[in-house]
């Protein structure tokens, strides 16, 4: 699994049919891969705890990654957001239904 840091994200639309293996949620997938059990929302300036994983592009790259966000920071559109320094993104493998 790829992991990396980055400067900003762009949300990917229409990803609700894309599920991680083993019937996990995306935030559980992220916690296991990143090794962090109680992440904060990665969006710059947001103090909330992350309760979901968002599908995003990193910077100019156009492969799929997962980052931890809160409900307020996961809009169903393709908006771009700055992220906190040292946020870890985990690659969402697979272009099909299962990562």
Q: Which residues bind Zn ion (CB under 5 A)?
A: 41, 43, 46, 48, 70, 73
Which CB sits closer to Zn ion, 52 or 93? 52
Tally of residues, the chain = 99
Which CB sits closer to Zn ion, 12 or 46? 46
Which CB sits closer to Zn ion, 82 or 94? 82
Q: What is the CA radius of gyration of the chain?
A: 12
Which CB sits closer to Zn ion, 36 or 48? 48
Q: Provide, rounded to whole angstroms, the least separation between the CB of residue 96 and Zn ion.
A: 29
Q: Provide, rounded to whole angstroms, the least separation between the CB of residue 95 and Zn ion.
A: 27
Q: Contact at 8 Å (CB) between 8 and 45?
A: no
Query: 10 Å Cβ neighbour count for 76?
Result: 10
Closest by CA position to 15, among listed 72, 64, 69: 64
Q: Provide, rounded to whole angstroms, the least separation between the CB of residue 81 and Zn ion.
A: 9
Can you tell me the distance from the alpha carbon of 38 to that of 49, in angstroms, rounded to the nearest whole number?
A: 8
Q: Provide, rounded to whole angstroms, the least separation between the CB of residue 87 and Zn ion.
A: 12
């Amino acid at each position: 699994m790829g992991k990396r840091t980055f400067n900003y994200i762009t949300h990917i639309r229409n990803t609700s049919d894309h599920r991680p293996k083993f019937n996990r949620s995306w935030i559980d997938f992220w916690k296991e891969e990143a090794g962090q059990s109680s992440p904060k929302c990665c969006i710059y300036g947001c103090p909330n705890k992350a309760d979901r994983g968002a599908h995003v592009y990193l910077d100019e790259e156009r492969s799929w990654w997962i980052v931890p966000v809160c409900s307020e920071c996961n809009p169903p559109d393709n908006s771009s957001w700055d992220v906190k320094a040292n946020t870890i993104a985990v690659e969402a493998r697979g272009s099909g239904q299962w990562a």
